[in-house]
Structures are given as structure tokens and as C-alpha cells.
Structure 1
Amino acid sequence: MMSKRVRPPLTEAVEHRAGIGDVSRRIDSRAKRGLSLQPWGLDQARAAIGSSLHADDEDFAPELNVRNLVSSTAVFPAMAATDALAVACHTAQERRDTRNLHAVATLSLCRAALESASRTIWLLSPTDREERRTRCLAITKHELLQQGTAARIGDI
């Protein structure tokens, strides 16, 4: 059986000689910025009292018996985005030691972060409160339908 050759970690000097020093520095810079969002994503922030988002939640859809429906619908995908981005950033930072960028997985995580963050932006971008609430209900309905489909598949 052949043993796998262990390659030493990449160094900045090797990256420079390979002509990828600038790209590597940009990856490092972006990974550092991305990781700075991680603490926010782990904090289950609530809408500030008196804010427009807090007003969106006030007396909204009491029949659903869910508190803070608009703000929690907005915050969850933002938290998911920061988590996906943090994992992508950790992977990027480890690339020199592992000598593997895991490009497809990293880009998939970046796409997930972008799509999740986009959902929050889409939900909160209208200036009209009723439109934000309508979008919140549309997201909630879609999620419940997806959960129902998953439950039916699980019963097969």
C-alpha cells in the first residue's frame, strides 16, 4: 500500500512565487471581515422598542400565537447567513495548512449566505408596514408548506 505524501503548509512566500499572493491576501482580508459578523449572528437580537420593526410585530397575526413574527422571520435568515459565512471563512483561513481551498464547498456556503441575507433584505426593504407583514406571512406560509411536504416524505 502506498503511503500518502504529506505536503508542508503553504507559506506566503510560496504563494508569492506562484503568483497568487495578491489573491491570497484578498481571501484573508475578506475572511477576517466575514468572521467579524459571527458574534452578531450568534446573538438572538430583538427589535428595539419603538423601532419600525418592533411596530411591525405589535398586534400582528395574534391568531398564529407567535410573538415577534416579523422580526424573528427577518432575523433567522440573517443569523443563518452569518453562520454559513463563518464556516466559509474558517475554511478559507485553513487553506494553507490543509493545502485545500475546498472551493466548491466554500462557494456553496457563500451562496447560502447570500440567499439567506437576501431573504432578510427582501422582507425588510419595503417602507410600507403592511407590505413587510404581507411578505412575512408569505415566507411563513412557504416554510410551513415545505415542512408539510417533508413530513409527508418522511411517512413514506
Structure 2
Amino acid sequence: MLQRVLLWLTAFLLATVAATTVHAQDADLSITKTDGVTTAVPGGSVTYTITASNAGPSNAPGATVADTFPAVLTGTWTCVGAGGGTCTAAGSGNINDSVNLPAGGSVTYTVSATINGSATGTLTNTATVTSAVNDPVPANNSATDSDTLTPQADLSITKTDG
């Protein structure tokens, strides 16, 4: 009798543990960023398109899209969600936005930025997406766009015989 009770108790406990085991959620987030050019002019402007997506299988509520602009950029942005993705509609300066990315959803930011006229070298800008949900492929959670800055002179001359 005791053996039967122990067998039943063991089976019950194993079934209870199996029924209450929490399965980890995975959400394959990714982000892309481009301005569509490889060179930019100091004093001019650039327009970046940043898209954060969730390939699933789980939802990623409360994910964060972030982009800290280099000091030579001053910008404003807008955002539109697709496939159930939601984000803040617009802002200015750096992006640090809490977004909801359901499986199959995305958010797309359009950044309009002015480049400081004294900027030199390479304009490099990185955007990232992060979440508390486990991401099995974290290598695609950041994207960088780089442009060679090519200063251009706007010269003119006038001559009069006075």
C-alpha cells in the first residue's frame, strides 16, 4: 500500500512540475538603418530610415529602439508601426523609444538631420533594438550607417571697374 501511495505521489509531482514548467519566450528582433548614400556634405542634411522588426515567435512588448546622434547631427524624427507594431509618433533629438513589437510587427523611423557645417571625417550613426524577451539572434540588434563627409566650397567672385 505504501508503495502504491509513493508511486502515485511521484507521478502526481512529476505531472505537476511538467504542467507548471515555464517555457522561455523567444523573439528574434532586428534593426536596419540607412540614409541611402555613402557621402554627405557638412552644412547639408541626411535622412535616415530605421526599421526595427520582430520575426517572432513571441511578442516583444516594451522593447526599446535607441539612436544617440553624433554631436554633429541635429535631427527630428517620426515613427510609424506596421503589423501591430507601435511607437511614439514623433520627436526631436536622440531616439530612446519604448515600442511594442508583436511577432511579425515592425516600427519604422524617418530621421531628418542637419549636419554641422564644421563636421569632418566620417559621419557614423548606430541604432539598436533591445528587449527583456530572449533574442536567439542578438547579432542583428544594431545597425550602423557611415558616410564620408565631403566638404564643398561655395565660392563666388565679383569684379567691378569701379
Q: TM-score, normalised by structure 2?
A: 0.21
Q: Which has a greater percent of helix?
A: 1
Larger CA Rg, structure 1 vs 2: 2
Q: TM-score, normalised by structure 1?
A: 0.21
Q: Which has the higher contact order (CA 8 A, sep 6+)?
A: 2
Q: Which has a greater percent of strand?
A: 2
